[in-house]
Amino acid sequence: MTAPVPVLSGTGLARAFGGHHAVVGADIALHRGRVTGLVGPNGAGKTTLLLMLAGLLRPDTGTILLDGAPAEPAAARARIGWMPDVFGTWESLTPREILTAFARLHGADAAAADLRARELLHQVHLVEFTDAPASGLSRGQKQRLGLARALVNRPQILLLDEPASGMDPRSRIELRAHLRAVADAGAAVLVSSHILGELEEMADDVVMMTGGRTRVPPPTTASRWRIRLVDQAPDAAHIVELADDAAAAAYLAHYVRQDIPIAEFTRLGTGLEQAYLDLDADRT
């Protein structure tokens, strides 16, 4: 069976700024209906890679393909939604004016642009700030407005750089659900994030990046578990490493069959966190 063609892919991408080589060898493929997590330490080259994929920065070397054909930046940008890690727009304007302006830039007429702006403000729960200057929004509210701006053209490809930064817990939960819904509707979603636990909950694929290079982490199944009996002090809990979920279920069943009361049985960390630690990257 022939593998599906990625909607957007990059092969052998590299980009330097003077003597600094931000990206030296990046390969990535984004598929419709899937959320891909981009993970790595600060300075790994993630933002530079995202900018190249978004058609906002030309790679020094390498190839970017859109539906299997060389990507022309202007045509690619019409199909891409881009959310940078900093809001970066005209804060003297209102959220409605900002979204309307971007919808017009994407070719919508005035009425359609205003309708789309109001629809998105409802989706990201900013209706009460519709006609107030964006300068008065909090960091998290600006992030939600940034998400709305990225969605204004109903993109087939959505690229996000640390979208949950500054968001409160409720907004982060809603963000995960929103991105999952966008992917389920057929878009390809790429999310760069340091919040590994949340990223693992929504990502179908993961690409690790360090030192300007990408790699796909090997699948991990083994994990550490914490088990504590009833009336046992928290610092007396046992930590065990189990090969996979089936082994964890069998381990717990052993205690249950012996009528040993369990107060806590918890996975410690995630496979994505372990893959990140295996990068052996410097702290930044």
Which of 36, 7, 40 lies closest to 23 in space, CA to CA?
40
Amino acid 244: pLDDT? 83
Amino acid 222: pLDDT? 67
Is residue 208 domain-shared with residue 258, that is, in the same domain? no
Amino acid 235: pLDDT? 83
Q: How far apart are CA 197 and CA 214, in angstroms?
A: 20
Amino acid 51: pLDDT? 96
Print the domain residue range for 268. 223-278
What domain count does the chain have? 2
With respect to residue 31, please indicate whether it lies within any of the assigned structural domains.
yes
With respect to residue 72, please indicate whether it lies within any of the assigned structural domains.
yes
User: Sign (positive/negative) of CA torsion 243, 246, 247, 251?
Assistant: positive
Summarize pLDDT for 146-191 with one digit per residue, the tens: 999 999 999 999 999 999 888 888 888 899 999 999 999 999 999 9
State residue 5 phi and psi, 5-degree precision.
-75, 130
With respect to residue 284, please indicate whether it lies within any of the assigned structural domains.
no
Q: Retrieve residue 5's tokens.
A: 């063609």
Q: How far apart are CA 26 and CA 207, in angstroms?
A: 10
Amino acid 283: pLDDT? 53
pTM: 0.82
What CATH number does the domain containing 33 carry? 3.40.50.300
Instruction: Spell out, as residue ranges, where the chain has pLDDT lower than 70.
Output: 1-2, 218-222, 269-271, 273-275, 277-284
Task: With beta carbons less than 8 A apart as the criterion, state whether 154 and 107 touch.
Answer: no
Task: With beta carbons less than 8 A apart as the criterion, state whether 120 and 151 touch.
Answer: yes
Which helix (DSSP H) or strand (DSSP E) does residue 109 occupy?
none
Quick one: DSSP state of residue 2? P
Is residue 117 domain-shared with residue 16, that is, in the same domain? yes
Is residue 111 domain-shared with residue 181, that is, in the same domain? yes
With respect to residue 263, please indicate whether it lies within any of the assigned structural domains.
yes
Place of tokens 């970017």: 64
Distance, CA of 6 to chain centre: 18
Is residue 150 domain-shared with residue 200, that is, in the same domain? yes
Amino acid 8: pLDDT? 97
